[in-house]
Amino acid sequence: MSLTTGIPARDQGEGHETAKTEPAFELKAAAFILPVIRLLRLDMDAVEAQLMPKVKQAPAFFQNTPVVIELSALPSADEDVGFPQLVGLLRGLGMIPIGVRGGSAPQHEAAKAMELAILSDTAKPPRSETGEDVALGMPVAGPSDDTQIGVEPGSHFIDRPVRSGQRVYAAGGDLTVIAAVNSGAELMADGNIHVYAPMRGRAIAGLHGDTKARIFCSDLQAELVSVAGHYRVSDSIPANLKGCRTQVFLDHDVLRIEPL
């Protein structure tokens, strides 16, 4: 006597084959714009004292934000970074350290022990508009993920709203948008950015270091504006310029925001 499940064997097999052939995930290459904390010396008290005001200035920008720790500027590659203390400090301020860049093999081993990724040196971290050496900058990296509208070669034109979570990158040219840019969206261009509608979210011009790039908008409400790595967050944008027609540009390494 044999036991049965009440389901024909052929049907069981077909269901099993279907489950095996249907894809459960996609593996894709992607690059993201991440804040970088460039360590100049291993003084955690000084790091905390200098970093905390920045976090208080723009708490929404830093909350649950993945960050990269840059080690290449440390005086000695033999120094013990003290990753447990550093990771704890960053997490305590709301950030999520995900990896390190630069540094020596022993420092990398210590980072791995804290489950930090080892990232390649792809670009020099830029400075903030104040010219500080200890900066939370935006490394040059081409954006790519499932939420973006696309990476377009040359200049690019968009006539539909850019929604929260979407990214648009004009590689090698200018980006022009004639629809609203919502909070949480990102506009990026190697050249200029023009927005003829309310501009919320983030706008990053001169992504690959063009210091002559500019941002032009008819209604400035941005969470962050950046030109060639120099940036300002919303709290550091003058209140009298918010909601106005403005341009953002570099003047001798100082990021300026002026009315149009």
Question: Quick check: is 30 in a domain?
Answer: no
Question: Quick check: is 90 in a domain?
Answer: yes
Question: Quick check: is 24 in a domain?
Answer: no
Question: Are residues 125 and 90 located together in one domain of the fold?
Answer: yes
Question: Quick check: is 101 in a domain?
Answer: yes
DSSP structural state of residue 180: -
Question: Are residues 155 and 209 located together in one domain of the fold?
Answer: yes
Looking at residue 196, what is its pLDDT? 94
Looking at residue 229, what is its pLDDT? 80
CATH of residue 59? 3.30.70.260
Domain boundary among 137, 169, 204: 137
Question: Quick check: is 70 in a domain?
Answer: yes
101 three-class SS: strand
**The amino acid at 42:** L
Question: Are residues 94 and 166 located together in one domain of the fold?
Answer: no
Q: How many CB atoms lie within 10 A of CB 3?
A: 4
CATH of residue 216? 2.160.20.70
Query: What is the block-wise mean pLDDT of the chain (260 residues), using blocks of 10 residues?
Result: 46 56 71 75 90 74 82 84 92 91 90 89 44 35 40 76 84 90 88 93 88 94 88 85 92 89
Tokens at residue 39, please?
Answer: 């360590």
Question: Quick check: is 174 in a domain?
Answer: yes
**The amino acid at 24:** A
Looking at residue 260, what is its pLDDT? 87
Looking at residue 133, what is its pLDDT? 31
Question: Are residues 184 and 120 located together in one domain of the fold?
Answer: no
Long-range residue pairs from 116-125, CB within 8 A, at least 24 positions apart, any chain: 116/69, 116/83, 116/87, 119/68, 121/72, 125/36, 125/38, 125/70, 125/229
Question: Are residues 58 and 154 located together in one domain of the fold?
Answer: no
Looking at residue 145, what is its pLDDT? 38
Tokens at residue 150, please?
Answer: 């696309």
Question: Quick check: is 21 in a domain?
Answer: no
Q: Are 224 and 206 in contact (CB under 8 A)?
A: no
Question: Are residues 63 and 112 located together in one domain of the fold?
Answer: yes
Looking at residue 27, what is its pLDDT? 67
Domain boundary among 88, 111, 137: 137
Question: Are residues 95 and 156 located together in one domain of the fold?
Answer: no
Q: Which domain holds residue 205?
A: 150-259
Question: Quick check: is 28 in a domain?
Answer: no
- How many structural domains comprise the chain? 2
